[in-house]
Every structure is written in structure tokens, then in C-alpha cells.
Chain A
Amino acid sequence: METQAISPEQAADALKQAAAAEKRSAQAYRYQRFAPYLFLWGVIWVIGCGATDLAPHWSGWIWLGLILGALAVSIAVGRGAEPSRSKSNWRIALSFTTIWAFIASTYAVMAPVSRMQQGAFPPLVVAFFYILLGLLWTGPRLIIAGLAVGVLTLGGFFYLPQHFLLWEGFVGGGALILAGMWFRRV
């Protein structure tokens, strides 16, 4: 092994450089792993909100089909992943399943009185989840994505009620798709 002598000051600087590089790499890796799910749910959002706006009486079936489809895709991604990624892919898929189970349970207990409430609640839950996850683990990009989804949802709910679903679909869903693309970058 080739060696050289260094001072404690140089050692401290090297340790600092290493820690910074390690942190940046870990964060970029977490963002990259999350990106496909942001993209997937953004597409689901665009399709779901658009279809619901066109055929509101079918909204229950539309969203059930889309959510089940998205969960199936998430599970398929987890199952097909390399062994080093499979476990965390399953965790991510189960996390999204848990969110939707929470939303369904809340609807059962506190039934929304309007279609707008029904449409606003899931993105607010997702926004909350993203902010929390960003604070606890993933990093600031997820906090920003969560804040964007939350603010856009509340803005549409209060200021664009007549076009809320379309707003939510294209702006909210679009925000998730853009966030997914952003998360893939270093």
C-alpha cells in the first residue's frame, strides 16, 4: 500500500470532504429511487382528474382502476429490481398502499360532502407525506415537492373551484411529473 504522511489538520479537512461527498451521494441516491414513483403518480393524477372531469359519475371506478394499476406497477417494479434495490422498492410500494388505505379509511369515517373535498384530500395527504419524508429522511427536494403540491391544491380549491379538477390534474399532476424528472438529476 502506497502511503504518505499527513497532519491532524489535513486529516480533519479530508474527513470533512469525505463526509460531504458521502452525504451528497446518499441524498442523490434517495432522490433517484423516489423519482419513478413521483412520475407514476403524476401521470395517474393527470389521467384521473381529466377523466373525472369528463365523466364525474364514473369517478369512483376511474380512481379505483388507476390506483390499483399504479400499485400493480409499483409492485412489479419492486419484484423486477436488482436484489440490492428490491427491498426498498417494496417499502416504497407499501408506503403508497398505506397512504391510499388511510385516504379510503378517512372517507369511510368522515365522508366528504363535496366532490371538491373528495378531490382535494388525497393530494393534501400526499403533500403532507412528502414533506414529512423529506424532513425525516430524503432531503429538501421532497419537502419542496410536497409544498408545491400542497400549495397548488389549496390554491385551486379556494381560488379556482369551478375548474378545480382540471387544475389539480394538469398543475398538480404536472408538478409531480416535473418533480420526478428533477429527482433523477444529481
Chain B
Amino acid sequence: MMSLKESANAPVVIEEVESLPARPDGTPVKVRIRGLRKDFQVRGEPVAALEEVDLDIRDGEFFVIVGPSGCGKTTLLRILAGLETATAGRITMSRPPVTTGRPQPANAMVFQEHANFPWKTVRQNVEFTLKAQGYSRRERRETSDRIIDTIGLSRFASAYPHQLSGGMRQRVSIGRALAADPEMLLMDEPFAALDEQTKLVLQSELLRVWQATEKTVLYVTHSIDEAIVLGDRIMVMSARPGRILSIIDVDALFPRPRTLESVKSSPLYGELFGRVWSLLRGEVGAAQGAAR
């Protein structure tokens, strides 16, 4: 990787409003992004990582972002997670007012891998977010019991990450993200390092958990297949600087609830795969050329 330094002018903050105006078709909007741009400083020169990103993410949808390496898809996620600031543009997030109970965190991020604290057990990893959010010991215990059950690791609650398989470790990451009940899940290629079969199992479990919670999910992936089986909509991005090439509505072809099997066995799957790949093929070539 090049050493990238953030440019310092006019940081873009994420504005929060009680509700955003709905889209013309009536669907409620969770995040509205307008004219988003992100520059990195490379040897004193600004290099655009993201450009002209205009996007509405609908409330409760599973939104997948695919694009060639280095197209800024992870950067977009990190900006929304508050881990990086954009160079220009506007981000507005709808935050419904708290009526009862504890305020939900705006988002929680699931990272690629190696993001579990190796010095904490499964339970302590899951409870970390709760601790950060100021839950009491008893609340933490109750919540982590429920979450660990959801991610299917009840028998491993006191195991350390190094004692778990790669798939189990990613379950822990998801558990930690879900624990404090965030409004939005930001997932950065969470299953990229897993073997094919483990990936299939975790994908269908993620679908199950997501369908039960109805959270908004932003999911970054390299895999066209993963984008099709998981997403309501797929956003295809160009090579650096990352721009939106197309947004494909998958939900119209594969209505919910869906299973991996039904999607993959459908003739529409191949057609959709071809559509996404034809968009990406040129960009992947461009990214390869730029890297050379």
C-alpha cells in the first residue's frame, strides 16, 4: 500500500436529522449522500479516492457495493462509520427520536478479519461495544447471552479467538457489531477470507439475522456472487477515483424472503451475474493498469 495521508481542509461531518424526505417512489431514506468526495494526499498531491457520489440508502435495505480493488468502497464505509472524514460533500442520516429505552448507536462496523481482540473471550468481545455504550454489568450479561446464542457460539462463550476457526471469529465480529443494536450495519468484506462452504453457511445466517432485525446493511464485497445472493440493490463502482457506475435492483428479481439455493438455481442469476461483470470488466482492467 502507498502511504496515504488525509487532506486537512474542511472536514465533512455527518449531519443527523429526525427524518429525511422519502424518495419519489415513497420508500423512506436512511442515509442521503450528495456530492461526496474524498482525496488522499500522496507525496503532497491530492489523489481522488471517491468522486461525485450521490446516493440514497433506503431504510432497512441490504445495500451491496462492488467494485475493483482500490475503488474507494472501503473508504466510503469508513467515512460513514466516522473513522475517516470526507473532503467535500454532504452526508445526512435519519435518526428517529428515542421514545423508549436506550438510544441506539448510529452504526456498527464489521471489519475484514483479525478485528477481534485476542485478549478477550468471545463473551468479552461481544460485550466490548456494550461496555463502550455504558451498559451495566447485568445488562451486558443478558445482552451478550442473547447475542452469543444468535451467532451460534453458546458453547464457546469463554473461548479465546485463537481457539476458534475463521468462520467462528467472523461470527464474533458480527455479534459485537449487533450487540448494542445499531441502526445500521457497515460490513467490509466480512467473509472474504473464509473458505467457500463456511462462506455459504455464514451468508445464509446473515440473511436470517438481517431478516429478523430489519436493520439497514451496507455491505462491501469483491464477489459478484455474494452481491447477488445478499443484496436488495447492488452498486457497481468504477476504478479509482471511485464513481457510481450503476445501481442494480436485485429485489425486483429475487423477492424476500430468499434463500441462497433459490437465487443460485434461478436462470436470472446468470443473467444478473453477466450484467454486473460486463460493468466491472473494463474497470478491473483499468485498476490493473493503474497498479502497474
A and B co-occur in one complex:
no
Interface residues of A (CB under 8 A from B): none
